[in-house]
Structure 1
Amino acid sequence: MNILILGGTQFVGRHIVEAFVDSGHAVTVLTRGKSKDELPAMVERVHGDRDDGPAGLAALDGREWDACVDVSGYTPRQVRASAEGLQGRVGRYVFISTVSVYAEPGRHPVREDDPLSAPTAEDVTEVSGATYGPLKVACENIVHEVYGGHSTVLRPQIVAGPFDHTARYPYWGDRAARGGAVLAPGDGSDFLQVIDARDLARFTVRVVEHGIDGIFNLAGPRLGWADFMVLLGVTDPVWVDAQAQKASGLSSRELPVYVPAGGEQGGLMDVDPARALAAGLTLTDPLVTAQDTRAWSRDAGLQYALTPQREAEVLGALGQG
């Protein structure tokens, strides 16, 4: 099959590109050319920018593909340009959305039919913590409007794995590797749930190859934080509860991928992937995800919000230094 991928040089897009190539498909990537490109040589690169509207897709004029996978659509302006511009020229439109679209993220578990946030207006272009989910809702609506039954929407949990430049999940493996007392959020009873990027990529290939319609949550096994620390090899976790976090001024950026189970967002660490599993989603063992991410991140030069110095200061103030 001939596959068009909108945004494919970084992390999730890169894994999706490689999965299609490994499955024997011909891949064209639309890229702005601003990110480091380590894709296989046989991948065709064309340049464009959907922020420029239809004009930004001129390089795709006159061509057809069996499917389009939209990895980089964050605003309605971007997705409207590609969805309408490619109408009649792609057999299926696969949109990579997010579990952040749900209006009631405290639900347990979160399922595909749960209420969504109100969509933004189509002229909203600022992507922030407050607009990210509503923007994706607006983008999903455009895809459904233009492609109907020839569309697939994938809503991944936090994505983990090699090439994760977000510096969220990789923090914990890198921190565990340094040893010593590790500042750990909560009391060990909260939960962590991610989706391995390679599982997301394989499922994307599957929905294209088998023409699978619908909306799917993509999430991996749900681990308690105490189990996650054991999995990482942490022997001396120092649990810092919500009160101590507040007193120490610890921000969510300093404790990446941590979501209190009883908090307003707690359901986002309890996402139900049953529909996707029934459609063929396969899941990587969490230990393999952690080990492979660490194998990549040890030489990636990632910068983390919680520095060793800051961690030592917090632990010292708590009498744990």
Structure 2
Amino acid sequence: MRVLVIGGSGFLGRAVVEEALARGHEVTTFNRGRTGVDVPGVEVVRGDRESPEDLERLVDGRTWDFVIDTSGYVPRVVGASARALSGHAGTYAFVSTISALAGFPGKPAGDGAEIWPCEPDAGPEDGNYGVLKAGCERAVEQGFDGNVLIVQPGIILGPYEDVARLPWWLSRIARGGQVLAPGEPDAPMQFVDARDLGIFTLDQAETGTAGRFLVTGPVGQTTFGEWLESCKEATGSDAELVWVDSTFLAEQGAGAFVELPLWGGPPSEETETFWSVPTTKAQAAGLRIRPVAETVRDTWAWLQEIPEKRRNFGNNTTHGIAPEKEAAILEAWGARSE
């Protein structure tokens, strides 16, 4: 089959391309060539999806069985791509996000849940990430004449992750010593390996499946404690995990999700909802999730190819607590526990 991947050189896009090539598909990638190096074996079309001329050049004389859009964030930009590709592909698979669900995580997620109100021609100034992704979904549905497949993933981890969540924890734990472990070790977690998300998306696109799917790990997939222990095992580190109460961390000004990646802050209804997303529909359609330890191990193996001082993950330097702040919180916690 002939496949077009919009993006295709970064994190999720790379996973999709590698899986598509492994299946024997003919793959075209369309990107600006700024995020990463294209996977060998693809037809590379350089261009900017915001340029009408580049979109015209992309589709000129080309057709595909399906397109997978891994890099759409602005509705009016995504809509232009969908309209340009109408008549040139049978299925348009758009990678959205669970954050497109209206009210999430304050409101529980579920298959068929409403998405945020956002116009399909909205610009980047018209909403936050989740709201704009909802607008992108509408832009594809209204702009593409063919099957529309929308996947709404939760947290995505795995090799080539460019957000520095799992890579940050692996790098920190590998350095050893006392490591600030946030909250409770039995706090639940859910995530999907980018490779499993790519496999699922390709499985559905190949058969012309349409509709929306929530895609993440199963409820009860793992805990924060199990996850960090997997990081210790993968790195061979003798680090000591020091579990610090969530309320105390908040009092110390520790930032949830970004400063301490994937820690959701003090327990609340929202954090409980965030880590309890049902995936019944996707599982029935064949979603397969690999073991947590495999994702952690493979991500660490990939990181070994990158010197630690160069691990800026696409110039993303916002994730991870500063060493001096971590040390100060651990010292304060130790004094409080005496």
TM-score normalized with structure 1 length? 0.91
225-234 or 189-198, which moves further after superposition?
A: 225-234
Structure 2 residue aligned with 1:30: 30
Change (3 A) 1:176 1:10: same
309-318 or 112-121, which moves further after superposition?
A: 112-121
Alignment of 1:257-272 (within 5 A): 257-260=262-265, 262-272=268-278
Partner Cα separation in structure 2 for residue 136 and residue 14 of structure 1: 21
Out of 224, 232, 255, the residue aligned to residue 260 of structure 2 is 255
* Post-superposition offset of 1:259: 2.0
- CA RMSD of superposed structures (Å): 2.3
* Post-superposition offset of 1:147: 3.7
* Post-superposition offset of 1:254: 1.1
Structure 1 residue aligned with 2:329: 314
Structure 1 residue aligned with 2:157: 160
Partner Cα separation in structure 2 for residue 102 and residue 44 of structure 1: 35
Partner Cα separation in structure 2 for residue 87 and residue 14 of structure 1: 24
**Cα deviations by residue, 1:70-104 (Å, 9 ceiling, x for unpaired):** 11111012111110011111110000000111123
What fraction of aligned residue pairs are identical, expressed as a percent?
37
Out of 241, 247, 250, the residue aligned to residue 245 of structure 2 is 241
**1:295 matched to 2:301:** yes
Alignment of 1:131-210 (within 5 A): 131-147=128-144, 150-210=147-207
**1:96 matched to 2:111:** no
Partner Cα separation in structure 2 for residue 147 and residue 267 of structure 1: 33
Structure 2 residue aligned with 1:113: 112
* Post-superposition offset of 1:22: 0.4
Change (3 A) 1:149 1:275: farther
Out of 273, 277, 281, the residue aligned to residue 275 of structure 1 is 281
* Post-superposition offset of 1:180: 2.7
Whether contact under 8 Å (1:259, 1:266) holds in the other structure is no
* Post-superposition offset of 1:256: 0.9
**Cα deviations by residue, 1:265-296 (Å, 9 ceiling, x for unpaired):** 54222221221111111111001011111111
Q: 3-state DSSP class of the match of 1:5?
A: strand
1:138 maps to amino acid: G
**Cα deviations by residue, 1:115-137 (Å, 9 ceiling, x for unpaired):** 3222256232249xx61001010
* Post-superposition offset of 1:187: 2.0
Alignment of 1:56-135 (within 5 A): 56-60=54-58, 61-106=60-105, 110-120=109-119, 122-126=121-125, 131-135=128-132
Whether contact under 8 Å (1:191, 1:259) holds in the other structure is no
Runs of 4+ in 1 over 6 A off after TM superposition: none
Change (3 A) 1:270 1:149: farther
Whether contact under 8 Å (2:76, 2:120) holds in the other structure is no
Change (3 A) 1:240 1:192: same
Change (3 A) 1:176 1:77: same
Structure 1 residue aligned with 2:209: 212
Whether contact under 8 Å (2:80, 2:143) holds in the other structure is no
Whether contact under 8 Å (1:217, 1:273) holds in the other structure is yes
Structure 2 residue aligned with 1:55: 53
2:321 maps to amino acid: L
Change (3 A) 1:316 1:150: same
What stretches of structure 1 of length at least 5 have no aligned partner?
A: none
Partner Cα separation in structure 2 for residue 175 and residue 194 of structure 1: 20
What stretches of structure 2 of length at least 5 have no aligned partner?
A: 233-237, 313-318
271-280 or 99-108, which moves further after superposition?
A: 99-108
Partner Cα separation in structure 2 for residue 142 and residue 298 of structure 1: 40
Q: 3-state DSSP class of the match of 1:113?
A: coil
